[in-house]
Amino acid sequence: MNHLAHVVLAARNPLALTGALLGDYWRGALEPAWPAALAAGVRLHRRIDAWTDHHPAVIEARARFDRGFRRYAGIALDVWFDHLLASDFVRLAGEPLEAVEDRVRVALARAPADLPLPFHAYVARVLAGPGFGEIARREEVDATLMRIGGRLSRPNPLPHALPMLEAMAPLLERAFARLWPELVVEAACFRAEVGLDG
């Protein structure tokens, strides 16, 4: 899942919400000095990613990508699933997108200063940008895939993935429809386990 899905599935606690986005920018062990909610947000991010990667609908969808794209299929699917979520947001998330974006902006404006510089650069982009809902536009899907592809260390096909995703759109919509309700339950169970929803 990409950023929009992670914030929808995160706890409303501002530090947990920050951690849900920090998960893409932090590798390895969590800092022992972090507040518990921040660490739990990163752990939730990791659980969501691992659970999603092993879901049968995602495995089946990845297998349908051309061989040259398959190594990067998970990234392309994450972005496309955010596109599908943003395109039908109120039904899938149960609240207006603007309410989620407001929570994210408040949380990120208070993000701890000692987090990695790439994360703070991301925070600056989010605070200055038009919002997560832009991913509902296919042009933004294309731009997002190009940005991610440009950040990777080796040549990759992500900047050219949009036509394939569009050709596979009905299949990917079915995969997301299977995945999303189960993922909402999984995330809620984890939040309850760690006391984030209490």
pLDDT digits (tens, 9 = 90+) for 101-138: 999 999 999 999 889 888 999 999 999 988 888 999 99
In whole angstroms, give the CA distance from residue 126 to residue 124.
5
Q: Which of 73, 52, 71 is nearest to 62 (CA)?
A: 73
Report whether pLDDT(198) > 70.
no
31-47: per-residue pLDDT in tens? 899 999 999 999 999 99
What is the per-residue pLDDT across 4-31, written as a single tens digit (0 to 9) for each? 999 999 999 999 999 999 998 898 899 8
**Phi/psi zone of residue 94: left (φ > 0), alpha (ψ -120 to 50 degrees), beta?**
left
